[in-house]
Chains A and B, each alone.
Chain A
Amino acid sequence: MKVALFVPCYVDQFYPKAAIATLELLEKLGCEVHYPKNQTCCGQPMANSGYEHLTGGCNNLFIDNFSGYDYVVCPSGSCTLHIKEHLHAHDNEDMATEIRKRVFELTEFLVDILRVDILEASFPYRVGLHNSCHGLRGLRISQMSELVAPAFSKPAQLLNLVKGLELVPLSRNDDCCGFGGTFCVVEEAVSSKMGKDRVDDHLEHGAQYITSADLSCLMHLEGILRRQNSDVKVIHVAEILNNSIQ
């Protein structure tokens, strides 16, 4: 199975550990993983700011990099959703359509495609799971609280396979962290208040780590935790799932 690893720009630059864990985890699970080296960004920062018309260059580059693989896997729900919903190319629409079908967020790929039900991983800590909105309501990797429908969570299903890990309950399971791309600077006051309230929920329930399938949310929550000099850390779900038995 030929898998292309799609590492979002800010993960590449600021959170290489999460990308390394994703790569190692996929290799451990038997995938032939390729990292197309000329990849940059999915274009979401421009598109969500109202400049989708400027994302043609990013789209073409994405298609050049990610054509011809069985799957494209990404450790970010938000970037995956952007590709799924907005990857188009005037001269290459067939290929764009093909990639939109083949792109997966990591936890949905592990659950739905690789059907992982055993993991050799250990993480003996109390962990709060932050549901990223784009993973939750966009990709539906978990059930959202708004709908009257059966509950499920692909990230939680995987985390529950990890030895020693205890998922802490939260008061608000799927309230947004307030990152929102450029929202975090344009609406600084509301954004940081939203982040602070999310952090408080995890702290009140005794989390030692906050994890998520999306690093953009974690980057936001980490900024708040570090400002508070908290001992609580953020960690991408891939790093937990790839954590070998100690």
Chain B
Amino acid sequence: MSSTATKDHAELAAIFNRDEPRVDWHDETLWWVRAKRDIAAHKLPEWELLRETASQIKNNVLSNLSTYLEQFEANAIKNGVTVHWAADAEEHNQIVHKLLSERGINRMVKSKSMLTEECHLNEFLAQRGFDVIDSDLGERIVQLAGEPPSHIVLPCIHKKKEEIGDIFHEHLGSAKGESDPKILTETARQHLREVFLTRRAALTGVNFAIAETGEFVICTNEGNADMGAHLAEIHIASMGMEKIIPERKHLGVFLRLLTRSATGQPITTYSSHFAKPQDGKEIHIVIVDNGRSIQLGREDFRNSLKCIRCGACMNTCPVYRKSGGHSYHTAVAGPIGSILAPNLDMKKYADLPFASTLCGSCSNVCPVKIDIHDQLYKWRQVIVKAGYTPTAKTIAMKGMAFTLASPTLYRAAGKMGRLTFKYAPFAVNNGANPWYKHREMPKAPEQSFGEWYAKRKEQKK
């Protein structure tokens, strides 16, 4: 992550695009997932009603968040669970650190949690001498490669199976050149089995937290969250405070939408409910704010908190498909990441709302109907007003606005432009013009429509 922190999305995407066959492979892989999503969605005639219902349930949650959170906490405590509150990433990491230290534990197994990526928990614990092993296969692969996930559902979607074979050969001792997914998966399984059996602590994410019952639900395809949590003495569940749903009956709406949107499966292989700790064991829930309250207070952006982290907006986004998740230099990439990240650090992520053509596909695949592309447009306005755009761009825009507000200036500039194109094409057809790198400039016609129309009017008289 550190090597990419100083480059913006456009620069990182340009690097990604140096290898065109790889871009094609990445694009087609994700489009295939999008196509699977379409097939799954079209099998449900009530799909649009489901999306609308999910959206309204989440709107209700966001409007009554404090009430539901307190209800959830009270019911979880009744169940024998310990609840912690973390204002930010630092506090979350400190809480986890303390829970482990107090029990003399220095090794932990962790299933998928984008929240812990957002909080940089692995680095925090590693710096303090703790060993954390990610048990989701994709996450384990990127962890061994020393990279962050490039996608929230498919963390190593940017890696080809041959590259994974090399990583496993180096770290897990598989045969050199082995790239059969079945054999590689078996290698990972044997490796993780030992981890599951020996770790006293397991950390998981939370997909849904039910206020009515105090239970929480974790969705995985590999059963790795269950393996970790059931075998460990202490189960720590890290949860973003927006993960609440009011009642158990609402779960059906979200479980039907989540995996269909994510991968085109009808449901995740494991949708596991956790309510009470087993005898002699502990469950701790850490409810994390980390900027969510601020986002909730931004009227234009609050409904980004409806997100259920399905990743459908990434798979459909042509910019994501052709630039790769790492180009977004943030834990949650793609369209949804681009509306969440500026809330956390507007200066650092000022480029992300501009990494979009505003094509609107994201908003329309979103299972909870977040108006993602409208929020990208609105973030652009906020970022410009906050002064996080290059001065040259602001000067150019002011000049353009001034010219276009005056018919006389507009006509003069248009004529100048066309004459330049015609008689001095070298002024625009050169390396300083980014358009010209891969595209020809439009041909300049003899006259504008306005000029043609004026002549026609003259002739008609």
Contact = CB atoms under 8 A, between A and B. Distances in A.
Chain A complexes with chain B: yes
B147 interface: no
A118 interface: no
Contacts of A20: 449, 452
Contacts of A7: 449-450
A183 B354 contact: yes
Contacts of A175: 318
A181 to B, nearest CB: 8
B380 A37 contact: no
B391 to A, nearest CB: 13
A9 interface: yes
Contacts of A179: 357
B409 to A, nearest CB: 9
Contacts of B445: 14-17
Contacts of A23: 453
B48 A190 contact: no
Interface string A178-216: 111101111111111111110000000000000000000
A91 interface: no
B47 A148 contact: yes
A49 B359 contact: no
The DSSP consensus for interface residues of chain B is helix
B310 interface: no
A12 B10 contact: no
A187 B364 contact: no
Interface stretch (B194-202, B228-236, B245-253, B410-418): B410-418
Interface string B27-45: 1000100000010011011
B1 interface: no
A175 B453 CA distance: 35
A61 B405 contact: yes
B13 A9 contact: no
Contacts of A89: none
B453 A194 contact: no
A53 to B, nearest CB: 7
Given A43-B404, A58-B404, 8 more contacts: A12-B450, A20-B449, A37-B407, A38-B407, A51-B384, A186-B354, A189-B323, A194-B357
6 closest A-B pairs by beta carbon, nearest first, are: A57-B405, A223-B439, A180-B357, A50-B384, A50-B380, A192-B438
15 contacts: A11-B449, A14-B442, A15-B442, A35-B450, A37-B450, A41-B410, A50-B380, A50-B383, A50-B389, A57-B405, A58-B404, A146-B38, A190-B319, A195-B439, A224-B439
Interface of B: 9-10, 13-14, 16-17, 20, 23, 27, 31, 38, 41-42, 44-45, 47-48, 316, 318-319, 322-323, 354-361, 363-365, 377, 380-381, 383-385, 389, 393-394, 397-398, 400-402, 404-407, 410, 414, 417-418, 433-435, 437-445, 447-450, 452-454
Interface of A: 7, 9, 11-17, 19-20, 23, 35, 37-41, 43, 45-58, 60-61, 133-134, 136-138, 144-149, 172, 174-176, 178-181, 183-197, 219-220, 222-224, 226-227
